[in-house]
Amino acid sequence: MTKIGLVRHGITAWNKEGRAQGSSDIPLHEEGLAEAGLLAERLSAENWDVIYSSNLLRALQTAEVIKEKISHIPLQLDPRIREVGGGLIEGTTEAERLEKWGSGWRELDLGFEPAESVIYRGMAFIQEIAAKHPGENVLVVSHGSFIRHLLKELVPHIDMSDHLKNTSITKLFIKESQWGCELYNCTNHLKKKQLK
């Protein structure tokens, strides 16, 4: 059985400010680096064979922190698992979008990457990974909106009403060509941060 751990990157300054990131290349905030460290500690107690990361800096930095802790596993970059392109809204807050385009801004053509494009590249990636790593445990460090698109396609029955948290891990498995989800949006590793 192949397992895939989908990880959302650590928090960035733009996340903290509520700014849309999309394909903008934003680094992790120092808090995001600390969160990634807690996640890495958690993952080092588990069995992982390889890490794939988006080539955007915030995901790559998260993956590198994990790789430091689990040094024996290879890290590979794949641009297909980048965040969904946000077009003209990248760098803006909700308040700025409302001021600039009004309450119907989601219905406007602001250059968003089409969902079909996201699903196409995401499914091509996931099918290749499942074929390349049968019976292995694969970590995929990516982005919130991208991961949600992928989950809707692979496991449409799961409840995704909770927003994906930074450094959350969602664990999928494929058995006899069927995808299942054994863990969704888990950030138990961040509880250590709250105790300090």
- Say how far apart CA 164 and CA 77 lie, in whole Å: 22
- Say how far apart CA 112 and CA 106 lie, in whole Å: 10
Residue-level pLDDT at 193: 64
Give how far the C-alpha of residue 44 lies from the chain's centroid of Cα atoms, to the nearest Å.
19
pTM, 2 dp = 0.95
- Say how far apart CA 92 and CA 54 lie, in whole Å: 22
In the block, tokens 């449409």 appear at 156
The whole-number mean pLDDT for each consecutive block of 10 residues of the chain, a chain of 196 residues, reads: 96 97 97 97 96 98 97 96 97 96 95 96 96 96 97 94 96 93 96 64
3-state secondary structure of 150: helix
Q: Phi-psi bin for 176: left (phi > 0), alpha (psi -120 to 50), beta?
A: left
Binding site for substrate: residue ranges?
Answer: 8-15, 58
Edge-to-edge order in the sheet of strand 2-8: 75-77, 50-53, 137-142, 2-8, 169-175, 178-186
Residue-level pLDDT at 194: 59
3-state secondary structure of 75: strand
Residue-level pLDDT at 177: 86
Domains plus CATH for the chain?
A: 2-195 (3.40.50.1240)
Give how far the C-alpha of residue 12 lies from the chain's centroid of Cα atoms, to the nearest Å.
13
3-state secondary structure of 155: coil
Q: Which whole-number Å values give the CA distances from 77 to 50, 51, 56, in the listed order?
A: 11, 9, 9
Binding site: residue ranges?
Answer: 8-15, 58
- Say how far apart CA 157 and CA 140 lie, in whole Å: 21
Cβ density class 113-130: b for 16+ within 10 Å, e for less: beeeebeebbeebbeebb
Residue-level pLDDT at 124: 98
Q: Which whole-number Å values give the CA distances from 118 to 20, 147, 188, in the listed order?
A: 17, 10, 29
Residue 140 φ then ψ, to 5°: -125, 110
Catalytic residue IDs = 9, 83
